[in-house]
Amino acid sequence: MRLDEFLKLNVSEDLAQITTTIAQSCITVWENIPFKSGLLADVNPSGERQKAIDVFSNDVFADALVGTGLVREVASEEMEEAAAGKGRVSVAMDPLDGSSNVETNNPLGSIFGMYSEPLPCSGRNLVGALYVTYGNSITITLSFGKGVHRFAAVRKGPEMSFELLGLDLKIPEKPQVYGVGGARKDWIPPVRDFVDSFEGRGMRVRYCGTFVGDYNQVLSRGGIFAYPALVGKPAGKLRVLYETAPIGYINEQAGGYATDGTKSILDISPRSLSETSPAYLGSAPLLHELERLVSAG
């Protein structure tokens, strides 16, 4: 089944068109990744130096999404203010996740949250979310509140289209892999002690430095991805609106749990577009155990 056929049967017309617009645009982004790895002078709202591909992907997605006439606004990790549109869906995006990995050809991604309310707002207002992986294949993993489904890009003549790869994906409860961002020396003590227990449980480290790439394997293998609270940086690094709420929504739809250490990430009401939080996502039993440890301090 093609992506557009699936969408026609399962989601409202505006969400369907927003999703197919992202699917068409991500091919343009993917083709340009190797040639736009240069570092620019500019910094994004999180104070991070931008790469040419960060800005290029931002402009490709934002222009295409506003051009649908179906989005209220497009907010992005790469823009101070949201781009205004007209429509009932607010889109928040990380147009290129993991851009520090462009030169090494590590997995990269794009993340999109589709919110029913104006931004910023909590993840409980998500009506859909998807992430793109640019790896050995280009895949779109998505949910609109009725399970998690995956499509892969295939070439049909001069065009690329997305074909169904898997329906109703579920995260294994038995954890096999773990990946934790930041420097070990900076992890808060409960996290460091918890991570030290993993190998004894037969878990293996799988970490590539891109949230999308690291989470994607947790969804398949069971386990945990974390970008934790750090000593000296208690709010962690990952942005709620653009990164952890959309993927936390997908993770919850797959039967997992996503927490900031004290509550579901979907219950965070960010006060600003680029607000960050500690982020721990993966198999529910392991994440509830982590929450007990972090809450106990």
Binding site residues, ligand AHG, CB under 6 A = 48, 77, 94, 97-100, 181-182, 209-211, 227, 237
Say how far apart CA 132 and CA 106 lie, in whole Å. 14
- Check residue 97 for interaction with Mn ion (CB under 5 A): yes
User: Using the rule CB under 5 A, which residue among 73, 94, 214, 252 binds Mn ion?
Assistant: 94
- Strand-strand pairing, 204-205 and 126-134: unpaired
Nearest approach, Cβ of residue 111 and Mn ion (Å): 7
Beta carbon nearer to ligand AHG, 77 or 252:
77
Phi then psi for 61, rounded to 5 degrees? Answer: -70, -45
Say how far apart CA 141 and CA 53 lie, in whole Å. 22
Beta carbon nearer to ligand AHG, 70 or 245:
245
How far apart, in Å, are the Cα atoms of 274 and each of 73, 157, 185?
Answer: 15, 40, 25
Say how far apart CA 17 and CA 35 lie, in whole Å. 29
Which of the listed partners (ligand AHG, Mn ion, none) does 147 bind, with a CB threshold of 5 to 8 Å by partner kind? none
Beta carbon nearer to ligand AHG, 3 or 91:
91
Beta carbon nearer to ligand AHG, 20 or 179:
179
Say how far apart CA 187 and CA 297 lie, in whole Å. 13
Find the part of the chain contacting Mn ion (CB under 5 A) among 58-66, 97-105, 185-193, 261-269.
Answer: 97-105
- Whole-number CA gyration radius for the chain: 18
Nearest approach, Cβ of residue 154 and ligand AHG (Å): 26
- Check residue 260 for interaction with Mn ion (CB under 5 A): no
Nearest residue to the partner ligand AHG, using Cβ: 211
Find the part of the chain contacting Mn ion (CB under 5 A) among 76-84, 122-130, 214-222, 226-234.
Answer: 76-84
Nearest approach, Cβ of residue 211 and Mn ion (Å): 5
Nearest approach, Cβ of residue 12 and ligand AHG (Å): 29
Say how far apart CA 79 and CA 61 lie, in whole Å. 12
Beta carbon nearer to ligand AHG, 133 or 210:
210
Phi then psi for 38, rounded to 5 degrees? Answer: -65, 145
Phi then psi for 127, rounded to 5 degrees? Answer: -110, -5
Say how far apart CA 219 and CA 169 lie, in whole Å. 8
Q: Give the binding site for Mn ion (CB under 5 A).
A: 77, 94, 96-97
